[in-house]
Amino acid sequence: MKLLETHIVPNLHTSIRIQEYEVAVFASILSKSALKKILKKKLIYVNGKIATTATYLNTNDVVEVFEEETVIKKIFKLQIPIIFEDDDIAIINKPAGFPTNGNYFKTIENALPYNLKRSEANDALAFPKPVHRLDNPTSGILLIAKTKSAQIDLYKQFEQQEISKEYQAIVLGKTALKGEIHTAVAEKEAFTTFKTIETVSSLQNEYLSHVQLVPKTGRTHQLRIHLASINHPIVGDQLHGNPEENYKKGLFLCATFIQFSHPKTLEKLSFSITPPNKFQNILKREERRFLKFK
């Protein structure tokens, strides 16, 4: 195992369990939850012995943090559009129909080495890593780290809500010109703002609306749950949508914009894309059918 960092515990008034220790002193550990995961993987040693969540720290204890051993990755040869790439990060346009990562072979993460150049930086990751997720049926902008320092910095930007993201969706019904949604998600506070780009008439659903969405929090399925909660479920949402809706073109949700600070240069960067052609195609088709058969 590769040693990432060593920390000497300063003066403590009393012993403290390692999982309650201030993680900010570690450059390679981003949060309490990350600390618990690293402990579970037996990657932290205290005075030369493997630490657990039950380990207590005292003054002058030596804490060593190790990097997880690299597992040979089987590469998924899926061609992915690259929006931007340098030695530290990449921005890709994730296709719908593939999970970002997980215990599967056909994931976006497993396809990254097939699409991206290996970083020449000293702290290059063995394989590029997504620093956030898009659901399997969601397409669009996905931010990738190629170095350990970039990964740590981008995680911190997400944690401190310094990264802005926007999405576009086609939803059932006629939405307000703009609005806010505060419905809790998994009993946690969640907040989304939206504005309507276009609304068209539909024989099947009276109206379809094209909306822009800005999530202010990052809960799992937040946008899908929020839109369903105001009776405007996203077209094609088989989990939270209308079971009677019979469009067969997948989920109409796309991550279209991201803004963040480059982890190395600190330059403010923003990237945007247009949603897939199917967004405009369904709106034009529904409006055409309405005019023809109303």
Percent of the chain scoring above 70 in pLDDT? 99
Q: Give the 3-state secondary structure of residue 85.
A: strand
Residue bearing the bigger pLDDT, 273 or 36: 273
Residue 224, pLDDT > 80, answer: yes
Q: Which domains does the chain have, with CATH numbers?
A: 2-67 (3.10.290.10), 74-160 (3.30.2350.10), 164-255+279-293 (3.30.2350.10)
What distance in Å separates the CA atoms of residue 266 and residue 19, rounded to the nearest whole number? Answer: 31
**CB neighbours (10 Å) of residue 197?**
15
Burial of 11 (0-12, 13-18, 19+ CB in 10 A): exposed
Residue 32 — pLDDT band, cuts 50, 70, 90?
A: confident
Mean pLDDT, rounded, of the chain: 93
Q: What percent of the chain has pLDDT over 90?
A: 80
Output the pLDDT for position 57. 95
pLDDT digits (tens, 9 = 90+) for 5-23: 999 999 999 999 998 998 8
**pLDDT tops 70 at residue 174:** yes
pTM for the full predicted model: 0.80
Residue 246 has what pLDDT? Answer: 65
Residue 69 binned pLDDT confidence (cut-offs 50, 70, 90): confident
β partners of residue 258: 165, 271
Pairing of strands 253-261, 268-272: antiparallel
Q: Output 79-84 pairs: Cβ under 8 A, ≥24 positions apart.
A: 79/114, 79/115, 80/108, 80/111, 80/112, 80/115, 82/115, 82/116, 83/141, 83/271, 83/273, 84/269, 84/271
Q: Which residue has the higher pLDDT, 112 or 27?
A: 112
* pLDDT at residue 49 is higher than 70: yes
Q: What is the distance of C-alpha 16 from the center of its chain?
A: 33
CA–CA distance from 19 to each of 46, 164, 206 (Å)?
12, 31, 55
